[in-house]
Amino acid sequence: MTEDPTIDPMIEGSVAAPERPDATGQTIFSIVNIIISILMCCCVVGIIPLVFGILAAIYGTESKKARTRDEAEARIRTALLLNIISLVSIIICLAVLILSWMWIRTNIDFRGFFRKLNS
């Protein structure tokens, strides 16, 4: 079995494989989005950002398996877009949670409610 001389840079006259772009930043970004989304899943609103974070992680890791540099860069750009969508949806979900909490706190009299329950 002979090796392909175009892949091995140690063989004289061979061509080195093209250098792949680094997707580590996108992978870390997606892991952070996934962790925040998992913490928000107790409030149910974290499911949407979780899905986008998982998809971004998949595209980020799949860029390492790309055959060409252009294909790897396209997957990294897709991972970046999915990470941004996940981050924006996290911010929107947090805003909705905070506004809901503020509305409930100002419009519902919990003390009176619990007094009626104890009576």
**Closest listed residue to residue 78, CA positions, set 91, 60, 54:** 60
pLDDT digits (tens, 9 = 90+) for 3-49: 555 555 555 555 555 677 888 888 888 999 889 888 887 666 778 88
Flag whether the pTM goes above 0.85: no
Q: Does 9 reside within a domain?
A: no
Smallest Cα–Cα separation from 46: which of 36, 55, 54? 36
Token digits of residue 62: 């799949």
14 inside domain: no
Residue 66: DSSP 8-state: -
Q: Is residue 5 part of a domain?
A: no
Contact predicate 30/57, CB 8 Å:
yes
What is the domain extent for residue 37? 24-94
Give the number of domains in the chain: 1
Residue 33 host element (H or E):
helix 24-40
Is position 100 within any domain?
no
Q: What is the mean pLDDT of residues 58-77?
A: 88
Per-residue pLDDT at 78 = 93
CB 22 within 8 A of CB 63: no
